[in-house]
Chains A and B, each alone.
Chain A
Amino acid sequence: MPQLFDIFFYLFAAAIVASAAVVCFSRNIVHAAFSLLFTFFGVAGIYVLLSADFLAVSQILIYVGGILVLLVFGVMLTNRVTNIDLRSALGARIPALIICGALLALLVSILIPGHWISFSDTPWKGSPWHTNAIEQVTKVTQGAAREILDHQGSYGTASEIGKLLMTDYLLPFELISIVLIVALIGAAMIARRESNSSTQSTLSTRKFKEEAAR
């Protein structure tokens, strides 16, 4: 019998694959951008199923709230006619289809047989799927066990991730913050430079020169 967990997994997986296929095959770039929204939400649901609650929330915040808005901005700023078919020619698509089909067949043939060494079927001990946590919940609802209330940080991963980021992963954390600030400053510089030296290379002046040359 399928459990509720399995039903939700197949729901999210169907949503992810269907919307990613729309991203992949749609002729309209706006449709692709909007179906990317559903892909990101589906991946957030998969994170919830994998008991990564903090990651699911940051997926929605950063991907949907940041990256997707950035992509839609890009679409709006660069597309005058949104209905242009922007796929490659058929001759370029068929080799890509062959390569991707072969890669998918290879990956699935490796993954399906399931000779994975099962490290532990019990998830991380703070997750709600863990049996002890469920026992704790039932104990609390039965009104016993004062010490469970003192045992903080047992539910959710946010506090544990925060502790790990400040202890074991402090150096990568600082490095990634430096990378982030450098990338943002660089993006601002790249986007600005053109408007400062707008005498030479912008499109309007180039068109003007072409018309003047005629």
Chain B
Amino acid sequence: MNYTPVGLPHFLVLSAVLLVLGIFTMLTRRNAIAVLMGIELILNAANINFVAFARYGAINLGGQIVAIFVIVMAACEAAVALAIVLNLYKRQGSINVREAHKLRD
């Protein structure tokens, strides 16, 4: 059994696992805040990819700067989504995403 040192594929597989866990969280949770947590997992997976390519690829610091932008976008998204979730809770008494279709009425 030969040992391969940690390189770019290891980081990419880690971020793939994190992405899949995030997608599974988004698909199966009924709590809106848990869905938001899944989105955060997915954004973190994307960020690991950016930084791994910044370290091993030909883009030197561009990947890290894009990752900073992604972090800022995640902060925006969390703020707006939390405001929407709080309004949803005020309006219908629960944050079950299955009941959000009642907003059409």
Contacts and interface: CB of A to CB of B under 8 A. Distances in A.
A169 B92 CA distance: 43
A191 B86 contact: yes
B17 A104 contact: yes
Contacts of B82: 70-71, 73-74, 187
B14 A16 contact: yes
A58 B68 contact: yes
A32 interface: yes
Contacts of B93: 203
B31 A86 contact: yes
A86 B30 contact: yes
B85 A179 contact: no
B21 A20 contact: yes
A41 to B, nearest CB: 11
A103 B22 CA distance: 12
Interface residues of B, number: 74
B100 interface: no
B9 to A, nearest CB: 5
Contact of B24 (A3, A47, A86, A100): A100
Contact of B18 (A17, A108, A124, A188): A17
Contacts of A193: 87
Given A39-B41, A78-B95, A161 B89 contact: no
Given A16-B14, A111-B13, A78 B65 contact: no
Nearest to B67: A55
A77 B44 contact: no
Contacts of B73: 176, 179
Contacts of B52: 50
A168 B44 CA distance: 24
Contacts of A75: 33
Chain A CB count within 10 A is highest, among B25, B83, B91, B96, for B83
Interface of B: 3, 5-14, 16-25, 27-31, 33-34, 36-38, 40-41, 44, 47-48, 51-52, 54-58, 60-62, 64-65, 67-69, 71-80, 82-87, 89-93, 95-96
19 contacts: A6-B5, A9-B11, A13-B10, A20-B22, A36-B37, A46-B11, A63-B71, A66-B75, A67-B74, A71-B37, A71-B82, A77-B86, A93-B28, A100-B24, A107-B16, A120-B58, A180-B72, A201-B90, A201-B91
